[in-house]
Amino acid sequence: MSVLAHEAEQELPAWSLPASAGDSIRLPSSWPDRVTRDWAWGGATGAGVRVCVLDSGIEPGHPRVGAIQHSIAVTKDGDEISIEDDDAGDLCGHGTACAGIIRSLAPDCELTSVRVLGAGYTGSAGVLLAGLEWAIEQGFPVVNMSLSTTKKQYVDRLHELADAAYFKRTMLVASAHNMPVESFPWRFASVVSVGSHEADDPFALYANPKPPVEFFARGLGVEVAWLGGETITATGNSFATPHVSGLCALILSKHPQLTPFQVKNVLHLTAVNVGGAE
């Protein structure tokens, strides 16, 4: 399919733009002189934005999470990977914690749980890839990935999926890793990678001038939803990441036309250290 609107009916591989065609692909833009938090998500609730949590599942009926639109599980039996509706809830509490953080920032977003953990260590990377592929096919605007893999044989496929997501307007928000070992997908430029800062403000982001970690979000001593309707206090990039997913949901509910490239710009411009925290 053509990437250019004016040639859509011609079905040609359009990798160039004729001199006269600029007007036909005019993209409306309404950026303010200065992007502030208020412009970016003031008054927004996340309504209408579907957020996918790739994790250990989400506990149904948790007071901090509320309604879950859909729960599926990716499982592996031998070489066979299956994707089915799931009612097992959360296997360890972690996915519920991430979902609760997203909900606390974007109370009206729609949450979908994709359980990719629980199939054992050996099958985990394949299951993660299948879950990610499903989420991209479903066209979720935001996918929270508080996880990574170190398996090098999956890196190429993961990279392809991350790039595909970027062009299909799916924002992959991925936890960075504070250990001197390479893991993925957070290192890819097409995802939004997140580390932790120690401030209390759930809306406070810091843009990192030294990638591959691009943003720091609240990740220390966060009160999170846990199993059995409980809450616990937890620390880690895993909990910083859903703060950014929640912000993306807010931004996209107010500005649904923005691409992942533009949302990343909004995140940058509203970062505390960039001066956009007003």
Which two tokens mark 35? 């992007």
User: What is the nearest approach in angstroms of other proteins to the Cβ of residue 234?
Assistant: 5
**Which positions from 31 through 70 interact with other proteins, judged by CB under 8 A?**
56
Say whether residue 199 binds other proteins (CB under 8 A). Answer: no
Q: How far apart are CA 276 and CA 191, in angstroms?
A: 22
Q: Hey, which residues between 78 and 117 contact other proteins (CB under 8 A)?
A: 91-94, 117
Backbone angles phi, psi at 132, to 5 degrees: -65, -40
Helix 94-105 vs helix 237-254: crossing angle, to nearest 10:
40
What distance in Å separates the CA atoms of residue 144 and residue 114, rounded to the nearest whole number? 10
Q: Choose the stretch contacting other proteins; rule: CB under 8 A; options: 18-26, 44-52, 202-210, 227-235.
A: 227-235
Structure tokens at 135: 């989420």
* Min dist. Cβ of residue 123 to other proteins (A): 8
Shortest distance (Å) from residue 185 CB to other proteins: 12
Binding of other proteins at residue 24 (CB under 8 A)?
A: no
Exactly one of 1, 19, 27, 181 binds other proteins (CB under 8 A); which one? 181
Is 45 within 8 Å of 253 (Cβ atoms)?
yes
247-276 positions binding other proteins, by CB under 8 A: none
**Could you say which residues in the range 142-171 bind other proteins, by CB under 8 A?**
146-152
Sheet containing 70-77, strands listed edge to edge, beginning at the edge strand earlier in sequence: 80-85, 70-77, 110-115, 50-55, 142-145, 171-175, 192-197, 215-218, 206-207
Residues near other proteins (CB under 8 A) are: 56, 91-94, 117-122, 124, 146-152, 175, 177-183, 196-198, 219-221, 226-228, 230-238
